[in-house]
Each structure stands twice: as structure tokens, then as C-alpha cells.
Amino acid sequence: MSNCHIKESFLLVYENELVKVEVEESEIPWLKIFSQKAHKEFSECSAKEKLEIFRLLDSIEKEMLNFFKPCKINIASFGNYMPHVHWHIMARFEEDSFFPEPMWGSKQREGSYKLENFELFLDLLKQKL
């Protein structure tokens, strides 16, 4: 599936009163976890919010590892442009355009990785979350 054709209904993967999980359109499997409240820093989150974020980070990472068999999982939280607590979870492949650089780094090549079955992955993930 091309990253340009993710259906609008798939942009929001999961949501509850504490957090939401969204798709980041990319050539690789990439999801983001946001706190529902607009906290600027992780330390501002409640204990319940922190536990829910870590539960989702763990679950998503395990599902990405199992489904996509990536070379590595990258997890990051910056928020410099968007000062709202959020985490990025990315499955990385030697064939992606940026590997081994971060996805925000310098493009290394024209990637040959083909993101396939992403909608199926999202369906399976939704069932587990």
C-alpha cells in the first residue's frame, strides 16, 4: 500500500480518555501516541496517563516486531514543533530511505522498502489495544 493512500478512517487508530494513537504517513510503519490533554512535558502527565502511554508503546512495538519483522524499532519523543506530549513508534528497515539515520535525518538513498499490509496491521493492532 502506498503511504499516500492511507484512508482517512485509518489516521486515528485508537483512542480513550487518556490517549490517542494516530498514523504518521510515511514509507515505513509509523504511529504516534498523544496524550489527550495538551501537556507540554511528559512530567506533567498523571501517573495513569504515563502508564497508558507506556502500555501502548510496549504493545505497538511488540506488534510491529511480530508483524513487520523490522531491523529495528525507533521510539522518540521530541515535541519541539508541536509542544504536546507525543511519542513516535517506527519500524525501521535497511531498505528504507533514511536507515540508519533517523527519519528526520538526511536521506541516504531512494529506499526500496515497500510498505505492504499496513491496513491489515492496523486492524490487528486495534483488536489488541
pLDDT at 2 over 50: no
**Model pTM above 0.75:** yes
Interatomic CA distance for residues 66 and 82, integer angstroms:
30
Q: How many other C-beta atoms can be found within 10 angstroms of the C-beta atom of residue 16?
A: 11
Tell me the residue length of the chain: 129
* Beta carbons within 10 angstroms of residue 75's beta carbon: 12
Q: What is residue 80's predicted lDDT score, i.e. its pLDDT?
A: 76
Domain ranges of the chain: 3-128
pLDDT tens for 71-117 read 999 999 987 777 899 999 999 999 999 999 999 999 999 999 999 99
Query: Class assignment of domain 3-128?
Result: alpha beta
Q: What is the pLDDT of residues 23-58, one digit of tens each?
A: 999 999 999 999 999 999 999 999 999 999 999 999
Residue with cell 489527550: 36
**Joined grid coordinates for residue 49:** 496517563
- Averaged pLDDT of the chain: 91
Is residue 76 within 8 A of residue 86, CB to CB? The reply is no
Residue 5 is predicted with a pLDDT of 41
